[in-house]
Structure 1
Amino acid sequence: MSEFVVITRPSAQADVLAQRVTELGRKAVIFPLLEILPLDDQEPLRRALRELDQYALIAFVSPNAIDAAFSARPDWPWHIPLAVVGEGSRMALLRHGATEAKATIISPTDLDRTDSQTLLAELDLPALRGKQVLIVRGETGRELLGDTLRAAGVGVTPLAAYRRIAPELNNAKRSELKRLLSCQNDWIVTSSEGLRFLTEMVAQLDEAGSVAKMQQQRIIVSHVRIAETAQLLGFPNITLTRSGDDGLLAALQSCS
């Protein structure tokens, strides 16, 4: 069995999964590969969220988008339908009081792949034609959802709610990464961008064999796009799971 389960989510989203990993009898280590920061200027976000009644649908691309939006506007207008791409986002909505009884929530029904593409399959595009949709996201991200909606005649407004940056490879982070590479671990990776940051950090260690040691680790991912990124980066030991924490935990148990 691998020694540690390394959870690479941003810090604010890692604790619940770490607790569930511990309940399986495994040792969890939180090693974030992305830092989620508020926008330098919050006023455009607050202003846009005060004008939500013009939209027929509000789509959130991530739990971070949900947390940022609900923090900026606690008095949320529940009559506007909400769309999310994954189980993590559904749980984030629930933390902010968005139950099925209170709000219309649209999300992919195929839990083996949850992303913008499978969300689009659930949306009634003809009904949205000529209407306005707000997409709450980070400063950067994939354009598939917005581009497809526009092509269907839907008005799309992207709204930046947070920003993502690579974590600083300081002395503490460097020491922790060296410790993790000294043994075989299971790495739960939920972001292609984060995985690329990880390989860059490993390359900066300036130690012979660090890259090879990293590539020998088991990578557990919940989306085919992350699996493809891992393959391109030279990871041969990749486990692809269904969406959500339950899928990740099931993969851990099967790897034990």
Structure 2
Amino acid sequence: MPETVVITRPRAQAGPLAQAVAALGFDAEVLPLLEISPVADPAPLRAALAELSDYALVAFVSPNAIDAAFAQLAAWPQGVPLAVVGEGSKTALAGHGLTDANATIHAPRDSAHSDSEHLLASLDLAALAGRRVLIVRGDGGRELLADSLRAAGARVETVTAYRRSVPELTPELALRLDALLARPNVWIITSSEALRGLAGLVDRIDPAGGPRRLREQHLIVPHARIAETARALGMDRITLTGSGDARLLAALQSQE
């Protein structure tokens, strides 16, 4: 059993997974590698949400996008379809009272694959031609979903609901990272951006030995794109699980 299982999700989403890891008998440590903060000006988000009934589809790129949007909503308008890319986002919607039982929620047909490519494959793109589609997302990120919907003829609008940033390298964070890198651990990494941020932080605290120490850690990741990022950073101790906490936990148990 590893010394520690490091949960690197943003703090708002880390708790349930950390509790599930601890319930399996592992030592879970929450170390958010992305900080989520509100947009400086929420007016564009509020304006887009005020017109929800006019959209043929509203797509959310992450649980953070859902939480940020629903913080501005009294209720979801009946009959407006939603789209999400993964199981975490479906769980976030359920937390706001929306499930397959009371709403039309489009998601990848295979729950093991949480990405824009598989979401697009589940949509009737021809039916969206000429119609308004809203994508609620964080700052930056991939353009594949928006570009593909536009190519299919949809009138795509995007709105930023939150900001993402790598945490500031404080003395406390430097000490925590140094201690974690001093021994083999398992890191649950659910974002390529977070992994790149981790590599940058490690390089700053230990330019000479940090990259080597990071390569000695074992990563559990839910998506092939994150695994590709890890390999590009020189890491090869990688377990690819597919989307969903159940798969992450099953992979963790297999490490015992």
Q: Normalising to structure 2: TM-score of the pair? A: 0.98
Could you tell me how far 1:158 is from its partner in structure 2?
A: 0.6
Aligned-partner residue type, residue 252 of structure 1: L
Please state whether the residue corresponding to 2:118 is helix, strand or coil.
helix
> Does the 8 A contact of 2:126 with 2:152 survive in 1?
yes
**Aligned position for 1:60:** 60
Gaps of 5+ in 1: none
Shift of 1:139: 1.5
1:4-23 → structure 2 map (5 Å cutoff): 4-23=4-23
CA-based RMSD: 1.0
Q: Give the 3-state SS of the residue equivalent to 1:41 in structure 2.
A: coil
The whole-number CA distance in structure 1 between the counterparts of 2:133 and 2:201 is 38
Task: Give the aligned partner of residue 78 of structure 1.
Answer: 78
Give, in angstroms, the shift of residue 12 of structure 1.
0.5
Alignment of 1:1-256 (within 5 A): 1-206=1-206, 208-256=208-256
TM-score relative to the length of structure 1 = 0.98
Say how many residue pairs are matched: 256
| 1:7 aligned partner, one-letter code | I
Partner Cα separation in structure 1 for residue 89 and residue 230 of structure 2: 23
Runs of 5+ unmatched residues, structure 2: none
Give the Cα separation in 2 of the matches to 1:112 and 1:96. 23
**Whole-Å separation in 1 of the counterparts to 2:156 and 2:47:** 17
SS at 1:203 equivalent: helix
- Does the 8 A contact of 2:90 with 2:99 survive in 1? no
- Shift, 1:208, TM fit: 4.2
Deviations for 1:47-105, whole angstroms, at most 9, x for unmatched residues?
21111111000000000000000001132213100000000000000000002221111
Task: Letter of the 1:9 partner, please give it.
Answer: R
Residues in 2 aligned to 1:108 and 1:7: alpha-carbon distance in whole angstroms: 25
Paired-residue identity, %: 58
How far apart are 1:112 and its partner, in Å? Answer: 2.6
